[in-house]
């Protein structure tokens, strides 16, 4: 990996979203917001005002979560001399929408797509293992999962402070489900990159997601603290074993 100054320079100059990515993210946010607010249009009977309010809040949650997740992946990729671009998976969106309708919103999923990784010749010049690397690609995919776990922890802190907050509660659920769905080893999802990169890291990612979900969904102080410790440890491991040097 590069030193701090070079990393900051690469992120400053290279952390961008092109129009194709932006349009894909808009579709992803709209669909995800609809799916995760499907059952929140009134407690006992339909309420348009409540439903629109909840839909808008989930839109914000989805937008923040997607942007942070992709920013983590792009930042790590730039440090490794790679360029990441988000690709929308239309079939996955159709699957998620179909399941949402069939289950009346009881099975919200996030199959929005993954990232493609391109080799940046100028940034990799002089680096160890100059050519493309499955290992680096795997850790780029893994940082998307870690990004979701970080956001889940941040939303959990908000939910602990404001237990009745719909916004923070949805943020926790959405990010945990997004992390789990992204780790499914399908060609259009980031889980495929992690799976073919390192099977041990792949299994460790699943264990981390499951433990984080159990601890965060308890809504207790000790659960939150343990989740922060587990998430921090996973992040440090990813940084250490994901380094080229």
Q: Show pLDDT as tens, one digit a residue, over the chain (245 residues).
A: 566 777 777 778 778 888 999 999 999 999 999 999 988 887 677 778 888 999 999 999 999 999 999 999 998 888 887 888 999 999 999 999 999 999 988 999 999 998 988 776 555 555 555 555 677 888 889 999 999 999 999 999 999 899 899 999 999 999 999 999 999 998 889 999 899 888 888 998 899 899 889 988 887 778 788 878 877 777 676 666 655 54
N-terminal to C-terminal alpha carbon distance within the chain: 6
> 85 — alpha (psi -120 to 50), left (phi > 0) or beta?
beta
Q: Which two tokens stand for residue 241?
A: 């074993």
- pLDDT at residue 245 in the model: 45
pLDDT in tens, 30-58: 999 999 998 888 767 777 888 899 999 99
- pLDDT at residue 29 in the model: 95
Backbone phi, then psi, for 177, in 5-degree steps? Answer: -70, -40
Flag whether the pTM goes above 0.75: yes
Distances in whole angstroms, Cα of residue 239 to Cα of each of 19, 50, 128, 178, 187: 30, 43, 17, 22, 25
Angle (CA) 84 82 185, round 5°: 55
C-alpha 8/C-alpha 231 separation (Å) is 24
C-alpha 167/C-alpha 129 separation (Å) is 45
Strand locations in 28-161 (E): 82-88, 113-119
- pLDDT at residue 124 in the model: 54
């Amino acid at each position: 990996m590069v030193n701090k100054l070079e990393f900051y320079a690469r992120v400053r100059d290279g952390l961008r979203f092109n129009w194709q990515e932006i349009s894909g993210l808009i579709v992803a946010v709209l669909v995800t917001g609809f799916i995760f607010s499907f059952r929140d249009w009134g407690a006992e009977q339909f309420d348009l005002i409540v439903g629109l309010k909840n839909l808008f809040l989930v839109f914000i949650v989805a937008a923040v979560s997607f942007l942070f997740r992709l920013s983590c992946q792009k930042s790590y990729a730039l440090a490794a001399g790679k360029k990441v671009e988000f690709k929308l998976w239309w079939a996955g969106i159709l699957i998620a929408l179909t399941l949402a309708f069939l289950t009346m919103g009881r099975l919200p999923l996030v199959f929005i797509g993954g990232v493609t990784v391109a080799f940046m010749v100028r940034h990799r010049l002089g680096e160890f293992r100059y050519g493309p690397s499955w290992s680096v690609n795997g850790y780029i995919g893994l940082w998307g999962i870690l990004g979701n776990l970080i956001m889940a922890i941040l939303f959990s802190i908000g939910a602990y402070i404001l237990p009745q907050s719909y916004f923070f509660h949805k943020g926790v659920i959405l990010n945990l489900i997004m992390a789990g769905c992204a780790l499914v080893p399908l060609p259009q999802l980031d889980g495929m990159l992690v799976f073919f990169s390192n099977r041990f890291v792949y299994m460790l990612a699943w264990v981390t997601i499951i433990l984080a979900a159990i601890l965060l969904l308890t809504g207790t102080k000790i659960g939150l603290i343990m989740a922060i410790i587990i998430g921090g440890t996973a992040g440090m491991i990813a940084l250490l074993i994901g380094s080229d040097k």
